[in-house]
Chains A and B, each alone.
Chain A
Amino acid sequence: MTRSRLAWPFLAIVAALVVLPLGVAGWLALTDYTGIRSATFTGATNLRRLVADDAFWVTVRTSAALALVVVPLRLALAVGAALLLHRGGAGVSTGRVAVYLPSVVPDAAWALLWLWILNPLYGPVSAVLHAVGVGDPGFLTTRTGAFLGLSLVLAFQIGEAFVVALAARAQVPRALYEVAAVEGVRPATVVRRITLPLMAPLIGLLALRDVILVVNVSFVPALLITGGEPLRATLVAPLAVYRRAFQYGELGYASLLSLVLFGMTAAATATLWAGVRALRR
């Protein structure tokens, strides 16, 4: 009783800020609303247009590819940092702060910082790569390079995941490591066969959250650094929806696109969730 009562304010907020806009978007998706004239019901017109809208599906594929590259990278970094920094010792506190710090920087500031870091003319990365004779892959100028650049920008804001991974590592009982040490099991095997399996359920949850996060926050660097270019290589779905709505003024159609994006993210996380549950058994 008490618990459900405490949930009421939260439910009210969700209703006002999530459910209501979703409902409105659902209605607008069936209209030709532009934001200037009042909406006219157009039935399945938008839907038919969507089916044939190859340009949009390309942006969905870009977002999916980005999630496939960035989510594992973020998890590897967060879990790896947690395994390295879970024990006390010299420099560990500094290390923890260093891992967390990028998450404190506002997304827009973070994006602009990377615009400088990856700049082919005066950026430090380019300078270092040239100095060692490797050559710049064209972080902001080629299709692959820009995609990689965007992935890098998104890879390091892992503070929360790092903290969760630290907690997960702390949950593994020390006695298990002692038994393994006495049995003469090598450290790499211990990580692979004890630590990671025992952390797996929480890592799964982190993956779930990261898919949603990466798809959404990719909007900021895509808008500020690459603008979706070159040749739409970094035109992620949220940016495409944003342009459809606020540059082309097609709010009705953009509503449908955002609903589709929402549905697809939900489907992806549901699939992952099923995987996590299977792991827990």
Chain B
Amino acid sequence: MTYERRRRERVVALDGVSLEAGDAELVAVVGESGSGKSTLLRAVAGLARLDGGSVAIAGRDVTALPPGPRQVALVPQNLPLYPHLDVTANITFGEVARRTPRSERTAKVRRAVELLDLAHLLDRRPDSLSGGERQRVALARALVREPAAFLLDEPLSGLSGATRLALRAAVKRVQRETATTMLYVTHDPQEAMAIGDRVAVLVAGRIEQYGAPVELFARPATVAVARLVGPLPMNLLAGALAGRGVPTVGVRPERVRIVALGIGRLVAVVTGVELIGEQTLVRLSVVGAGGDVELLAVAAGTVSVGTEVGADWEPSDEHLFDVAGRRITATDPAVP
């Protein structure tokens, strides 16, 4: 898939997006709502028209094709199942409509049902299924299509905790078993990092960075990516405050050490303490040029709110950004 562009009532939803997914690769597209990630998916599926650019699937230019012949399978975000049909009929709907021979159809369905553990649900209607079960049925339906590419639009939104984790594993299983390219759209960076072979970060219709999760985490290309990627958003400080001659300095909260007052680079007041697993997330307030700046730190022990402490980090943990928010690459830390 290459350069795509879509104009929506004078709003450019996608602009200069170039995204290429390898064969059998799982590409996660992450962005906030309105970033154009769903439009990207719909453009690939053929549901949204492009004003320029092209879409190629499996080496074939499909820009001019309607959705059907593109041979993709879509798992949309909301109401993905036919409410008047039971689970079996939902899974086989496309196959029946395309007049696939019955024996072939049965074999495909059996495989999908096995892979997604749906055997006990086949006679049920969508309204009697849980959210997770519905998504599994939608995945099964995508699976029997034997598509050239899977397109998933926030398949896990609205699910919680354990169901989410289990289904994420199921999505990955389906993708591995079929060895088929998958485009997985989500607003959750954690999810994107967990599932994607590569992750594309979409901000306001443009791709900010596209690479392996570990690369995005270790070398965020822009401040937007730095904020988005990782379990906690990166601290972004004015260069002057951090004692550096660049516009912005970023430090991951995990790398900020709380030290005795007077030792560290900065003097800070503890404004909040939150327990995160075995560690503590400490909210610090630093006096900056334009007012107080919040700094996040992860500490092993606890500190009490209101204490004055020092904050410090290693120079090698710093990420430097220019005025436009782009990474200054000279001082890159090594990939861990």
Contacts and interface: CB of A to CB of B under 8 A. Distances in A.
Contact of A183 (B47, B78, B145): B145
Contacts of A183: 68, 73, 93-94, 97-98, 145
B113 interface: no
How would you classify the secondary structure of chain A's contact residues: helix, strand, loop or mixed? helix
Interface stretch (A64-72, A123-131, A170-178): A170-178
Nearest to A176: B82
Given A176-B82, A198-B83, A184 B68 contact: yes
Interface residues of B, number: 25
A186 B69 CA distance: 11
Interface in B309-330: none
B76 interface: yes
A62 B331 CA distance: 93
Nearest to A186: B97
Contacts of B76: 175, 178-179
Contacts of A189: 97
A176 B66 CA distance: 16
B87 interface: no
Nearest to B42: A178
B77 to A, nearest CB: 8
Contacts of A197: 84
Contacts of B69: 184
Interface string A234-258: 0000000000000000000000000
Given A193-B93, A193-B97, A198-B84, A182 B79 contact: no
Contacts of B67: 178, 181-182, 184
Contact of B97 (A173, A176, A185): A185
B46 interface: yes
B195 to A, nearest CB: 21
B97 A182 contact: no
A194 interface: yes
A89 to B, nearest CB: 16
Contacts, number: 61
B43 to A, nearest CB: 13
B98 A175 contact: no
Interface in A172-220: 173, 175-176, 178-186, 189, 193-194, 197-198
How would you classify the secondary structure of chain B's contact residues: helix, strand, loop or mixed? loop
B45 A182 contact: yes
Interface residues of A, number: 17
Nearest to B97: A185
Contacts of A176: 79, 82
Nearest to A184: B68
Interface string B194-220: 000000000000000000000000000
Contacts of A194: 82
A186 B99 CA distance: 11
Contacts of A193: 93, 97
Contacts of B74: 178-179, 182
A197 B70 CA distance: 27
Contacts of B68: 181-185
Contacts of A185: 68, 93-94, 97-98
Contact of A184 (B77, B78, B80, B98): B98
A81 B72 CA distance: 33
A160 to B, nearest CB: 25
Interface of B: 45-47, 66-70, 72-74, 76-80, 82-84, 93-94, 97-98, 145, 151
Given A180-B94, A185-B68, A185-B98, 15 more contacts: A173-B78, A175-B76, A175-B80, A176-B79, A178-B45, A178-B47, A178-B67, A179-B80, A182-B70, A182-B74, A183-B97, A184-B68, A184-B97, A193-B93, A198-B84
Interface of A: 173, 175-176, 178-186, 189, 193-194, 197-198
12 contacts: A173-B78, A175-B76, A175-B78, A175-B80, A176-B79, A178-B67, A182-B46, A183-B68, A183-B145, A184-B67, A185-B68, A185-B98
